[in-house]
C-alpha cells in the first residue's frame, strides 16, 4: 500500500495531534491560531493536524520531496490548508467533519466520500476517542525514533525540540532484537553502560554516574537503597508490558526531587487500543531458555469508550552458568475509560516475580594466591546451588486526565508499589585460591540471608497549556509531585553452632556448588533495619516563543526531602527544605532541519549511602550544563544530535574500599568533581526499508586532575540496524549491531602486591538477527548474541571479584498476531 514510508515515521507524532479534543466541525467557523514554519510537506501536515485536531489522509508518493511555505495566524482549517499547500500542486477535501484527504486535483472520490485508494491516515495508530493516553506511542510505527517525548518538561516535544540529550528504545527495536529485560535495553542504549556485581545484581551508569532515577509513565519512583539492592526488581524488569524506554541524559531536577546527574529512565507502559489486536510469542534458545508471551488489547464495549489490555509473560531459563536456573513471570492489566469526550480515566496493575537458583553475589575471585589473574571458564558459577535472590514488584496505578476547550489539560497520576527481595546467599568468592590445589576460598564475603520489603507511594499532578503574550503563543507547565518509601531489611548470618559454619571450599577449581546450607541466626538482635524517604516538590516552567525561530525555557523546582535511617544500630536523619533547582534552556532553529540548543539545571541528589561510621552522606549538589545541535531529516524520520556537557558536583560519593556490617560498601564525600564529555547519536528510518540507531559517548570525571568513576568506560559506541529485503526475498529482514566499551579499572586488593590497579580490557559484542514474515499474522525471528563469541568481563572492586559476560547464544521466536 502506498504511504508506508511516511506513516511509520510520523504516525505517533500525529497521534499526539489527535490526543486533543476532537474538532466538532470541519467548517471555517473553527478558527485556530496556527504557527507552522516552512518545512517539508509531511512534517507541515503533521503540525497542521496537531494544531487543528483534524485527521489527515495522504498518499506518501504525493508528499514525498515537496515543501510547504508554512502558515501562521488565526485561520480556519480550510484557509490554512490553502496556504499550506501553496506551490505543491495538491489540493484537499474534507471527507467528513474531522478528516481531510490530500489529493491531486481531479482525484476520484472513494465510496461514500472516503479517502481515495492508497491514501494513508497519518494517525494510523489507534488514537480515537477522548484524550490519547500516550501521544508518543511507538508501537505500530515500525520506527527506531520517537515522534514526541515528555520526559524533559512534561510538554510533548519532538527530539529536536528537547534541549537535552535523549535516547529512546522503541517497541520496534525491542521486538527486532528480542530485548526481554530492561538490562538488555540499557546495554543497547547509546551512552549507557552496566556494571555486573554478580548474579542478579546489575547497576546502570550514564555519564559515569549510577542511574537510580526511574519513572513509570512519567511518575518518579525513587529507589534510595544502595546500588544493586533493587537489581532483581528493576534491572530484571520484563519488557513485554512496555511500549518504549526513554532515557533523558543529564540532570532532571525540574520534574523530580532527585536531580540525578547521569540520567533518568522513563518506562512507558503499553496502552489499550480501540480496535482489537493481540499477539502470542513462543521462543526457545541456548541453555534451555524458554519463554512465552501473550498480549491482547481492544474495546470492552460497543462504542469503544472502555478499552482494556492484558499482557503476560513467563520464562524458564538456565543461562550459560553451571547449576543456574531462573523462573520469572509477568502479569499486566490496564483499563481506560472515556468518562466524557475530554476526560480519560485509567486504572491498571502489574506484577512481576523472579525466582533464580544458583545465583546471588556470585563474583569470581579476581586473583589467585600468587597474585595472578584467576581465569576460569565462563560457565564457572561460584554460587552454591541453594543460593537465590527472589524478588517481586507489584504496582497499582491510576490516572485522571481532562482537556479543556482552550487547549489546557490537567493530569493526576497515582502509583503504589510494593516489592522486595529475599536473598539466601552463598558463593565461593572470598579469598585467593591456590592455583595448585584450589584451597584458600570460603563461601563469602556475603554469606547470609537478606530480606527486604519496600512500600512506595507516589503522586504526580500537573497542568499544561498555551498562553498569549505580545501576539505570540507560549506554553506553561505547573505541577507537583510527592513520594514516600518505607523499607525494612532483616539480615541473618551463619549460626556458629552449625557444622558448616566456616563455609570452607575444599577445592575451588573443582567447585560444583554443593556446599550444604548452614543454620542461620539474626545478624543483630532487636528491630530490623528501617529506612523512610520522603520527597515532595512543586515546579513551574514556561516555553516562550520569543522569535519565530527561538524558544526559551525557564523553570524551577522547590524540593523538600527527608530521610530517616536505622542501619545496624546506627540512626541518622537528613532533612532539606526549600531546595531550589533551576532550569534554563533555549532552542534556536538555524534552518528548517537544524537547531542549536543550550540547557542549564541544578543537581540535587539526596544520598542513602553510608560512611564508615554508618552515617548518611550529605546530598549530592552541583550544576549540569549542556550545549549541542539537533536535526530532523527526511520529514522527521531521522533524528540526529551532537552534545557537549559539563557536570560539577560536591559531596560526590567515593568508595573507601571498606565494607560495613552486612557487606554494604562504605563511602566518603568529596567536592569538586567535574565531568566533561560529548555525545553523538542518530536514530530513525534512513529509507523505507532501513532502520538504525547509533551513538558514541565520551565522558571523564576528574577531581584535582585525577579521574574518578574509573569502573565505567570513558568511551563507548553503539550501533544497531535492520534492513527489509524486497523482490524475491520479500518478507525477509536482516539486521545486526555492536557495542564497544572502553577499558575500565579500579583499585583492588592483591594477595602479593597489596592495593593495585586492575584493568578490564576494552571489548566488542556483536549481535545479529534475521526474521521472516510468512504472512500478515505469522512471523519468525532468529537472534544471535555475541556472534563472535568474544570474552569480556566486568568486575566490582568492593568484593575483589569479577563476572564473565555471556558467550554466544541463539534464540528462535515465533509470533502469531491476531
Residues 337, 306: contact at Cβ < 8 Å?
yes
**Going by DSSP bridges, is the β-strand pair 55-58/520-522 parallel, antiparallel, or unpaired?**
unpaired
Which of 184, 321, 234 has the alpha carbon at shortest distance from 803? 321
Beta bridge partners of 283: 291, 813
CB 94 within 8 A of CB 81: no
Q: Please report the pLDDT score of residue 415 as a whole number.
A: 95
What confidence category does residue 26 fall into, taking pLDDT thresholds of 50, 70 and 90?
very low
Task: Name the phi and psi angles at 728, rounded to 5.
Answer: -70, -20
Spatial CA neighbour of 146 closest among 266, 237, 253:
266
Q: What is the pTM of this model?
A: 0.83
77 confidence band (pLDDT: 50, 70, 90) = confident
- Give rounded-to-5 percent helix, strand, coil for the chain: 10, 55, 35
Q: How far apart are CA 151 and CA 365, in angstroms?
A: 41
Q: Environment class of residue 817 by beta-carbon count within 10 Å: exposed (0-12), middle (13-18) or buried (19+)? A: middle
- pLDDT, one tens digit per residue, over 140-166 is 888 898 888 888 888 888 899 999 999
Strands 529-547 and 550-567: antiparallel
pLDDT at 406 over 70: yes
Per cent of the chain over pLDDT 70 is 87
3-class DSSP assignment, residue 180: coil
Contact 41, 66 (CB under 8 A): yes
Whole-angstrom distance, CA of residue 688 vs CA of residue 143: 10
pLDDT in tens, 756-812: 999 999 999 999 999 999 998 999 999 999 999 999 988 776 678 898 999 999 999
Compute the distance between CA of residue 447 and CA of residue 428 in angstroms, rounded to an integer: 9
Tell me what pLDDT residue 501 has: 63
Instruction: Give the cell for residue 406.
Output: 482552550
Residue 105's pLDDT band (cuts 50, 70, 90): confident
Among 614, 622, 663, 662, residue whose Cα is nearest residue 646: 622
Lowest mean pLDDT among 317-321, 490-494, 657-661: 657-661
Positive or negative, the CA dihedral 635, 120, 465, 410 is: negative
Q: Which three cell numbers stand for residue 191?
A: 551512552
Across 257-276, average pLDDT = 84
Residue 488 contacts residue 528 (beta carbons within 8 Å): yes
> Grid coordinates standing for 388?
537465590
Residue 320, helix vs strand vs coil = coil
What are phi and psi for residue 138, nearest 5 degrees? Answer: -105, -15
Instruction: Quote the CA–CA distance of 469 and 721 in Å, as a whole number.
Output: 45
801, burial (CB in 10 Å: exposed 0-12, middle 13-18, buried 19+): buried
DSSP string, 571-630: EEEEEEEEEEEEEEEEEEESSSSEEEEEEEEEEEE----B-TTSPBPPPEEEEEEEEEEE
Q: Stretch 575-590: mean pLDDT, rounded?
A: 90
Q: Which domains does the chain have, with CATH numbers?
A: 7-124 (3.55.50.30), 161-265 (2.170.130.10), 266-817 (2.40.170.20)
Percent of the chain with pLDDT over 90: 46
Q: Which residues pair with 71 in a beta bridge?
A: 36
Distance (Å, whole) CA 195 – CA 567: 25
Amino acid at each position: 500500500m502506498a504511504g508506508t514510508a511516511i506513516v511509520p515515521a510520523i504516525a505517533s507524532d500525529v497521534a499526539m495531534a489527535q490526543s486533543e479534543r476532537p474538532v466538532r466541525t470541519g467548517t471555517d467557523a473553527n478558527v485556530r491560531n496556527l504557527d507552522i514554519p516552512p518545512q517539508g510537506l509531511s512534517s507541515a501536515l503533521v503540525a497542521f493536524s496537531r494544531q487543528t485536531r483534524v485527521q489527515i489522509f495522504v498518499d506518501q508518493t504525493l508528499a514525498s520531496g515537496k515543501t510547504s511555505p508554512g502558515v501562521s495566524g488565526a485561520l480556519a482549517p480550510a484557509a490554512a490548508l490553502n496556504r499550506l499547500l501553496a506551490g505543491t500542486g495538491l489540493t484537499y477535501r474534507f471527507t467528513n467533519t474531522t478528516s481531510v484527504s490530500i489529493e491531486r486535483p481531479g482525484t476520484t472520490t472513494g465510496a461514500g466520500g472516503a479517502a481515495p485508494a492508497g491514501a494513508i491516515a497519518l494517525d494510523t495508530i489507534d488514537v480515537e476517542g477522548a484524550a490519547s493516553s500516550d501521544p508518543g506511542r511507538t508501537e505500530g510505527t515500525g520506527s527506531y525514533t520517537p515522534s514526541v517525548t515528555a520526559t524533559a518538561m512534561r510538554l510533548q516535544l519532538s527530539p529536536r525540540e528537547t534541549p537535552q540529550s535523549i535516547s529512546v528504545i522503541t517497541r520496534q527495536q525491542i521486538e527486532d532484537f528480542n530485548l526481554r529485560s530492561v538490562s538488555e535495553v540499557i546495554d543497547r542504549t547509546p551512552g549507557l553502560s552496566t556494571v555486573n556485581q554478580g548474579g542478579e545484581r546489575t547497576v546502570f551508569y550514564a555519564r559515569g554516574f549510577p542511574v537510580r532515577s526511574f519513572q513509570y509513565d512519567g511518575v518518579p519512583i525513587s529507589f534510595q537503597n544502595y546500588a544493586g539492592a533493587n537489581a532483581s526488581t528493576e534491572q530484571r524488569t520484563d519488557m513485554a508490558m512496555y511500549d518504549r524506554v526513554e532515557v533523558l541524559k543529564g540532570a532532571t531536577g525540574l520534574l523530580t526531587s532527585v536531580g540525578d546527574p547521569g540520567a533518568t529512565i522513563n518506562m512507558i507502559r503499553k496502552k489499550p487500543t480501540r480496535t482489537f489486536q493481540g499477539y502470542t510469542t513462543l521462543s526457545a534458545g541456548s541453555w534451555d531458555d524458554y519463554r512465552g508471551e501473550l498480549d491482547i488489547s481492544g474495546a470492552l464495549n460497543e462504542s469503544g469508550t472502555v478499552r482494556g489490555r492484558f499482557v503476560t509473560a513467563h520464562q524458564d531459563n538456565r543461562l550459560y552458568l553451571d547449576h543456574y536456573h531462573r523462573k520469572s513471570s509477568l502479569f499486566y492489566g490496564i483499563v481506560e475509560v472515556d468518562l466524557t469526550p475530554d476526560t480519560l480515566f485509567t486504572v491498571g496493575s502489574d506484577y512481576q516475580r523472579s525466582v533464580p537458583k544458583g545465583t546471588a553475589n556470585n563474583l569470581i575471585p579476581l586473583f589467585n594466591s600468587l597474585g595472578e589473574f584467576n581465569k576460569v571458564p565462563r560457565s564457572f558459577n561460584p554460587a552454591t546451588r541453594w543460593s537465590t535472590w527472589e524478588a517481586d514488584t507489584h504496582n497499582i496505578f491510576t490516572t485522571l486526565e481532562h482537556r479543556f476547550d482552550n487547549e489546557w489539560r490537567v493530569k493526576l497520576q497515582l502509583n503504589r508499589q510494593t516489592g522486595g527481595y529475599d536473598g539466601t546467599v552463598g558463593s565461593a568468592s572470598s579469598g585467593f585460591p591456590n592455583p595448585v590445589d584450589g584451597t584458600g576460598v570460603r563461601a563469602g564475603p556475603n554469606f547470609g540471608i537478606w530480606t527486604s520489603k519496600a512500600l512506595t507511594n507516589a503522586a504526580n499532578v500537573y497542568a499544561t497549556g498555551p498562553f498569549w503574550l505580545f501576539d505570540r503563543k507560549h506554553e506553561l507547565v505547573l505541577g507537583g509531585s510527592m513520594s514516600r518509601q518505607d523499607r525494612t531489611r532483616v539480615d541473618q548470618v551463619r549460626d556458629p553452632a552449625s557444622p558448616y559454619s566456616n563455609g570452607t571450599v575444599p577445592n575451588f577449581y573443582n567447585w560444583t556448588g554443593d556446599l550444604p546450607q548452614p543454620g542461620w541466626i539474626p545478624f543483630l538482635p532487636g528491630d530490623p533495619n528501617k529506612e523512610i524517604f520522603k520527597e515532595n516538590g512543586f515546579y513551574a516552567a514556561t516555553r516562550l516563543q520569543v522569535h519565530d525561530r527561538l524558544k526559551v525555557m525557564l523553570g524551577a523546582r522547590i524540593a523538600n526531602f527527608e530521610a530517616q535511617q536505622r542501619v545496624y544500630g546506627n540512626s541518622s536523619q537528613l532533612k532539606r527544605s526549600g531546595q531550589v533547582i533551576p532550569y534554563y534552556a533555549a532552542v534556536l532553529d538555524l534552518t528548517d532541519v537544524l537547531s542549536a540548543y543550550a540547557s542549564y539545571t541544578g543537581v540535587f541528589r539526596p544520598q542513602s549511602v553510608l560512611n564508615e561510621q554508618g552515617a548518611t552522606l550529605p546530598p549530592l549538589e552541583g550544576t549540569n550544563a549542556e550545549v549541542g545541535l539537533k536535526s530532523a531529516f527526511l520529514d522527521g524520520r531521522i533524528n540526529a544530535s551532537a552534545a557537549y556537557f559539563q557536570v560539577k558536583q560536591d559531596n560526590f560519593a567515593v568508595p573507601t574500599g571498606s565494607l560495613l556490617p552486612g557487606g554494604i560498601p562504605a563511602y566518603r564525600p568529596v567536592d569538586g568533581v567535574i565531568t566533561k564529555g560529548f555525545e553523538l547519536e542518530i536514530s530513525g528510518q534512513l529509507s523505507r526499508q532501513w532502520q538504525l540507531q547509533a551513538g558514541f559517548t565520551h565522558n571523564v570525571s576528574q577531581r584535582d586532575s585525577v579521574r574518578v568513576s574509573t569502573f565505567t568506560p570513558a568511551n563507548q559506541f553503539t550501533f544497531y540496524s535492520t534492513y527489509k529485503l524486497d523482490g524475491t526475498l520479500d518478507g525477509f529482514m536482516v539486521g545486526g549491531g555492536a557495542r564497544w566499551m572502553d577499558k575500565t579499572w579500579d583499585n583492588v586488593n592483591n594477595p602479593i602486591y597489596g592495593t593495585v590497579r586492575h584493568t578490564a580490557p576494552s571489548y566488542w559484542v556483536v549481535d545479529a538477527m534475521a526474521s521472516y514474515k510468512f504472512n500478515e499474522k505469522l512471523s519468525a525471528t532468529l537472534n544471535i548474541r555475541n556472534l563472535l563469541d568474544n570474552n569480556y568481563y566486568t568486575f566490582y572492586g568492593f568484593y575483589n571479584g569479577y563476572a564473565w559476560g555471556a558467550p554466544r547464544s541463539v534464540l528462535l521466536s515465533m509470533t502469531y498476531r491476531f
